[in-house]
């Protein structure tokens, strides 16, 4: 039976954040949400590199937010995760799970014994090799997953499962009625990692993890202007892409160039998807993640991908419990909640 409540824990480059959901007869309620910053450099490209500091931040998060449980669903997104479409021989689910390593070993960029595998079936296909299942294979380097798991255990918590961050975003922002057959693109722009998922009615077709994000803009700005990272962050947030008078042309050009590089990468991924997908083309982009809140970014991305771009709201489909957050805080939290909320939703399957 599904748990009555669950907590999703997202370990990001800029902070750890967690959402507790409860699942009742009347739907899902967001009970708690909290976040605590981690020291710069302690999480690199999705992997914990300073476990003591990150565990300390997680402990602090639990103490401050008063979550009701210690078991958590963890997100994973790093450069050592691959997600690709594969075809495997059709088997009943339990047998498929057992045979998966053998079936996909020669398609992995890492030794199969070093990998954690997950398979999301999309459709049955019949061809020269008989009855097959086409689906998305997720393969993560075990060590990169275990590093994050050990850090969470060090903080006194129990990770019960690990899920791809992209699938968490899909659950929190892609859940709509199954009769809604539009294809859409979810893009979560973090500090260093950008997750892209294309889906129709919650069924993923394509996942890409880009090692790019909002911190690339800050780095470029600090270097160009010779300022500290903190100063550059302030300039980036106040300037965005719609610079008014009084902003240094150097700053404007730098933010513009770095944001455009990210837009170009996202567009490249979409062009690749469009060229290989036979179904309805994507109709819109839904944004999440702190990096997506850069002023003017949605409009710039819209120019790049030539379909409407909107900001996603993971709280849209749920009730709000006593989170202790006021409306202004909830609005700030909204883009950051997509991942932890989606991770917690995954526990209710």
Ligand X SMILES: Nc1ncnc2c1ncn2[C@@H]1O[C@H](COP(=O)(O)OP(=O)(O)OP(=O)(O)O)[C@@H](O)[C@H]1O
The residues that touch ligand X, with contacts defined as CB under 6 A, are 12-15, 46, 190-193, 213-215, 218, 233, 236-237, 289-291, 293-294, 336
- Residue (11 or 108) nearer to ligand X, CB: 11
- Residue 8 makes contact with Mg ion by CB under 5 A: no
Q: How far is the CB of 129 from Mg ion (least distance, A)?
A: 39
CB neighbour list of residue 326: distance below 8 Å, 6 or more residues apart:
none
The window from 20-28, 188-196, 216-224, 245-253 that contacts Mg ion (CB under 5 A) reads 188-196
> 321 by DSSP, 3-state: which?
coil
**Contact partner at residue 48 from Mg ion, ligand X, none, CB < 5 to 8 Å by partner kind:** none
The binding track of 238-277 with respect to Mg ion, each residue x by CB under 5 A or -, is ----------------------------------------
Q: CB 109 → Mg ion: shortest distance, Å?
A: 23
DSSP string, 126-177: EETTEEEEEEEEEEEEHHHHHHHHHHHHHTT-EEEEEEEHHHHHHHHHS---
CB nearer Mg ion, residue 12 or residue 240: 12
The yes or no reply on residue 314 touching Mg ion (CB under 5 A) is no
Chosen from Mg ion, ligand X, none, partner binding at 46 (C-beta under 5 to 8 Å by type) = ligand X
Q: How far is the CB of 44 from ligand X (least distance, A)?
A: 9
Q: How far is CA 225 from CA 107, 215, 216, 230, 237, in A?
A: 45, 15, 14, 12, 15
Q: What are phi and psi of 186, to 5 degrees?
A: -105, 130
Nearest-approach distance from CB 140 to ligand X, in angstroms: 15
Q: How far is the CB of 56 from ligand X (least distance, A)?
A: 16
Neighbours of 74 (CB within 10 A): 22
12 binds Mg ion (CB under 5 A): yes
Pick the closer one to ligand X by CB: 79 or 85. 79
Q: Please, are residues 2 and 348 in contact by the beta-carbon 8 Å criterion?
A: yes
Asked whether the beta carbons of 91 and 99 are under 8 A apart, the reply is yes
Cα–Cα distance measured from residue 166 to residue 172, given in angstroms and rounded to the nearest whole number: 10
Q: Which is nearer to ligand X, 200 or 239 (CB)?
A: 239
Q: Closest CB to ligand X among 289 and 312?
A: 289
Neighbours of 228 (CB within 10 A): 10
Select from 135, 190, 214, 282 the one that contacts Mg ion (CB under 5 A): 190
Contacts (Cβ under 8 Å, ≥6 apart) of 231: 222, 225
Residue 67 dihedral angles phi and psi, to the nearest 5°: -65, 155
Sign of the CA dihedral with 42 first, then 47, 50, and 56 last: positive
171 binds, among Mg ion, ligand X, none (CB under 5 to 8 A by kind): none
Give the nearer residue to Mg ion in terms of CB position, either 28 or 336. 336
Nearer to ligand X, 5 or 334 (CB): 334
Q: Which residue number, 77 or 88, has a Cβ lying nearer to ligand X?
A: 77
Q: Around 268, how many Cα atoms within 13 Å sit in the side-chain half-sphere?
A: 9
Q: In the bound complex, what is the minimum distance in angstroms from residue 207's beta carbon to ligand X?
A: 15
For residue 304, the surrounding DSSP H or E stretch is helix 297-305
Binding site for Mg ion (CB under 5 A): 12, 190
């Amino acid at each position: 039976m599904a748990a009555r409540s669950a907590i999703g824990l997202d370990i990001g480059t800029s902070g750890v954040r967690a959402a507790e959901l409860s699942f009742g007869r009347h739907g899902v309620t967001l009970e708690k949400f909290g976040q605590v910053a981690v020291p710069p450099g302690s999480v690199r490209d999705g992997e914990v590199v300073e476990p003591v500091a990150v565990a300390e931040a997680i402990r602090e998060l639990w103490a401050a937010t008063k979550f009701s449980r210690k078991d958590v669903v963890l997100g994973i997104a790093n450069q050592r995760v691959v997600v690709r479409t594969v075809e495997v021989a059709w088997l009943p689910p339990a047998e498929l799970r057992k045979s998966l390593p053998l079936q996909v070993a020669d398609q992995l960029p890492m030794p199969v014994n070093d990998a954690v595998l997950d398979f999301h079936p999309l459709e049955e296909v019949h061809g020269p090799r008989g009855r097959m299942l086409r689906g998305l294979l997720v393969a993560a380097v075990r060590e990169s997953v275990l590093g994050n798991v050990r850090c969470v255990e060090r903080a006194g918590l129990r990770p019960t499962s690990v899920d791809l961050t992209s699938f968490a975003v899909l659950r929190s922002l892609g859940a709509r009625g199954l009769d809604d057959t539009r294809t859409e693109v979810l893009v979560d722009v973090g500090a260093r990692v950008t997750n892209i998922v294309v889906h129709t009615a919650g069924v993923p077709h394509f996942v890409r993890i880009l090692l790019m994000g909002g911190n690339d803009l800050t780095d470029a700005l600090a270097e160009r202007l010779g300022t500290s990272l903190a100063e550059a962050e302030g300039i980036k947030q106040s300037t965005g892409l719609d610079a008014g008078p009084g902003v240094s042309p150097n700053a404007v050009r730098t933010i513009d160039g770095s944001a455009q590089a990210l837009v170009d990468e996202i567009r490249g991924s979409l062009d690749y998807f469009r060229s290989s997908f036979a179904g309805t083309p994507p109709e819109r982009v839904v944004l999440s993640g702190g990096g997506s809140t850069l002023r003017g970014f949605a409009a710039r991305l819209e120019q790049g991908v030539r379909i409407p771009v909107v900001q996603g709201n993971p709280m849209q489909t749920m009730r709000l419990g006593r989170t202790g957050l006021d409306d202004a805080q909830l609005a700030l939290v909204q883009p950051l909640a997509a991942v932890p909320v989606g991770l917690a939703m995954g526990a209710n399957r």
